Chains A and B, each alone.
Chain A
Amino acid sequence: MSEQTGMITMQLMGKNYQVPTGLTIMAAIEYAGYKLVRGAGCRGGFCGACPTLYRRSDNHRIFTALACQTLVEDGMCLVQMPFVPVVSRRYDLHQIAAKPNTLLQHFPEIAGCVACNTCTRACPQGLQVMDYVQASLRGDIERAAMLSFDCIACGICSSRCPADIKHYAVGLLARRLYGKYVTPDSPQLAARVAELQTGNLIADLNALMALSQEELRARYEQRTFETSEENKEPFSAIQHYNSPMDPVDYKDEIEV
């Protein structure tokens, strides 16, 4: 299909464009002369502003991707998706409890999930989206929080869901409930906050503020360092809060 070497043809909003290989979809759209206003945010896979729908000539499926994180392919036929509106009931996190039915109460539509797995197949982050919806339905806040943690709220899942579920809003509430009510508050932090109220720590600070530049420099150079060995417990992915419980299968995303 390509006429020049190193160029491929892609179809953008119904028109054919020749673009160099190796560009991301976002860079290809700009190469073709479009100035993005919507459809670009972080440009690095963190904000979810750039969801893209496309088809390939060799496959009947609809594919979804983040434009800033996906390379163009020859014969790709794509559109950028507008955002998916989310209108959901407001809540005051301080007034609600983390009960098994809390998520269902706030998002009754999750009961309508038909377990078609479309959301999981569509998620550009490779998350087990259906599983976190099902966990929310069962009232397993922890699992819903863990599985949805890497969600960037691109809305692709919601645009494809036959049950009109607002997945990322469900995940967000699950995580906030988990962070606030399920994870224990840090005892060390609580102690430090109390200590700050006594004013002792501030006195130490004021003493530093009173030093001359030279004295301060000297103090800086005499700092002792905490070595990583002092930190007795090495980081362990299994023993800590907020580590993914299911290994995510990223391979799905790098097909081709």
Chain B
Amino acid sequence: MELIDGYPAAMRESIALVEQTRPTRLGRTFPAMTPEQRRELLLGHHPDYKDGAKRPLLFGPNKGMLLNHELADLFEARPLVSASLDLNDVDSDVDLLIIGGGGAGTVAAIWAVQAGLDPSRVLIATKLRHGDSNSTMAQGGIQSADRPHDSPAQHFLDAMGGGHFTNRPELVEALVSDAPLIIHWHEQLGVMYDKDEQGNFVMHPGGGTSRNRMHSARDYTGLEIMRVLRDEARNLHIPVVEFSPAIELLCDERGHVAGAVLVNLETKRYHIVRAKATIVTTGGLGRLHMQQYPTTNHYGATADGLILAYRAGAELVDLDAIQYHPTGAAFPAQMAGLLITEKVRGMGAQPVNCKGEQFVYPLEPRDVEASAFIRECSLGLGIPTPHGIQGVWLDAPMVDIIHGPGTIRSALPAMFRMYTRFGIDMTRDPILVFPTLHYQNGGIITNPDGATTVPGLYAAGEVMGGVHGKNRLMGNSLLDFNVFGRRAGIAAANYVREQAQPTRLSLEHVATYERHMRDAGIKTTRTAPRILPDYRGKEALERYLDIPL
């Protein structure tokens, strides 16, 4: 296929229209929708409301909750180890086990140590390398109300409204009132946020926020926070085992959580960890590819923590609502699904259709914005690509026009670099986007200290639910993994000191779970957790021999 500066001729024709309308669009923004218009759009076009995409959970504390089939399949699946596994030989005996070495897990470990736990009695077990996580991929920024004309109360309103008032208010309260303390902590740790000459943060708006309160570090915000946290944990001598995902929680005879079974991904040897308290920080589920959507998430985002916690009896919330980020890359094919940070719209780039017309306010809440893109394409006003999918334009060159030449390169280096690698110059040409599977809004129910409904088990970060209700706003999840990671770390440390009395280890809860599944009439050979998605080529698998070696 012949490409002209990265785009095929057919797409170039539409780009010409975008360029034509650009001067008149500058400074003129499409109006925001009324609540009624938003509701109607969501019902008609959001993937969460699509008929037939979901089925109810058939057993357990959340019986009846509607789940996308891809997720329901994992709840209706057999464990990877049987309940009769020998648990007598404990490989690691610790005070605190943290499952998941992303942002939430690392923050929890640091604060558990600050709260008095001996670092050598803490263990972070993680699936890939320490820091290979959604946290590292976050680009846009983190919210905190710290300017005079902003307030935690204003932040509270934005978050509640963004979540359509389904959020748990006590969690949102914790989120917004801890936010300035978290940013202050980051400042002390040397996180290099973008600042002006006085040292005040450069703030950008985000979808659904009424104040500019997005703190960023170029468009590598998550990377910058994560690598500082990882360095801090390392300097505190907190042990980490990599390539060792948890595949089952362990309970004691009273049903309190008391550790986990890990598996070494290379040797497949299992490893028993006994812990006085356990924090699940396994992140999200994008790699389940709900409704066949591509995803922005990292390789290990497969909902493991939800499955493990549910088997141990923890309650879940809001998992019927999945966040599709409006701006996933739609062209070129190699970038499909990768995130185009909301900051691009925050800095002035408008979404436009194939005729170069605006059709939506650029910073509606994410679910609304995504639905508007899907509707535009279904009306035939999208731009078709050679690989079959459609998208709408995001008029990126506007950023440099509004803020001055060089802004894209310096404020959005990750975006610029990614497009450049695939032959597109986003300072000159618009980029094509379509919604992509981005975030697990719901998750494990916790109180504001990260405690789940099962004693001994805590959760923080993307795997927990309730704080964002059915729709998260940008910048609130980097914040939430810090706020609730810290709270869970401190609360778990206190629990270890004051309450924990684990008795004999048991997998009885797994046997019970299997019984509930049988009682609900589910017969299956599927297993869970999934651990990693499988992208091996069909052609290669057709000749695959499953032989012992």
Q: How far is the CB of A42 from chain B (nearest CB, A)?
A: 5
Cβ B189 vs Cβ A180 within 8 A: yes
Cβ B218 vs Cβ A242 within 8 A: yes
Q: How far is the CB of B184 from chain A (nearest CB, A)?
A: 5
Cβ A183 vs Cβ B210 within 8 A: no
| Chain B hits for A209, CB < 8 A | 169-170, 173
Cβ A23 vs Cβ B334 within 8 A: yes
| Chain B hits for A45, CB < 8 A | 414, 417-418, 421
Q: Classify the interface of chain A: helix, strand, loop or mixed.
A: loop
Tell whether A3 is near chain B: CB-to-CB under 8 Å.
no
Cβ B187 vs Cβ A180 within 8 A: yes
Cβ A242 vs Cβ B194 within 8 A: yes
Closest to A83 in B: B129
Q: How far is the CB of B255 from chain A (nearest CB, A)?
A: 33
Question: How far apart are the CA atoms of A50 and B266 in the complex, in Å?
Answer: 17
Known contacts: A37-B265, A47-B131. The answer to whether A178 contacts B299 by CB under 8 A is no
Q: How far is the CB of A31 from chain B (nearest CB, A)?
A: 4
Cβ A241 vs Cβ B195 within 8 A: yes
Q: How many residues of B contact A (CB 8 A)?
A: 107
Cβ A192 vs Cβ B534 within 8 A: no
Interface flags, B139-175, vs A, CB<8A=1, else 0: 0000011111111111011101100010001100100
Q: How far is the CB of B216 from chain A (nearest CB, A)?
A: 9
| Chain A hits for B33, CB < 8 A | none
Closest to A98 in B: B190
Cβ A205 vs Cβ B176 within 8 A: yes
Question: How far apart are the CA atoms of A248 and B412 in the complex, in Å?
Answer: 13
Q: How many residues of A contact B (CB 8 A)?
A: 93
Question: How far apart are the CA atoms of A43 and B394 in the complex, in Å?
Answer: 23
Cβ A240 vs Cβ B199 within 8 A: no
Question: How far apart are the CA atoms of A219 and B234 in the complex, in Å?
Answer: 45
Cβ B532 vs Cβ A37 within 8 A: yes
Which residues of chain A in 150-202 are interfacial with respect to chain B, using CB atoms and an 8 Å cutoff? 150, 152-153, 172, 175-181, 183-193, 196, 201-202
Beyond contacts A90-B235, A231-B203: 17 other A-B pairs, Cβ-Cβ < 8 A, are: A42-B299, A90-B237, A150-B220, A176-B190, A184-B199, A196-B180, A202-B152, A205-B156, A208-B156, A216-B157, A220-B161, A223-B157, A226-B205, A241-B196, A243-B411, A254-B420, A254-B423
* 28 contacts across the A-B interface (CB closer than 8 A): A30-B536, A30-B537, A35-B532, A41-B128, A41-B136, A41-B299, A44-B339, A44-B418, A46-B137, A90-B237, A172-B227, A179-B192, A180-B189, A186-B146, A187-B198, A188-B146, A192-B147, A193-B184, A223-B210, A226-B212, A234-B402, A235-B347, A236-B403, A237-B404, A240-B195, A240-B197, A243-B411, A244-B409
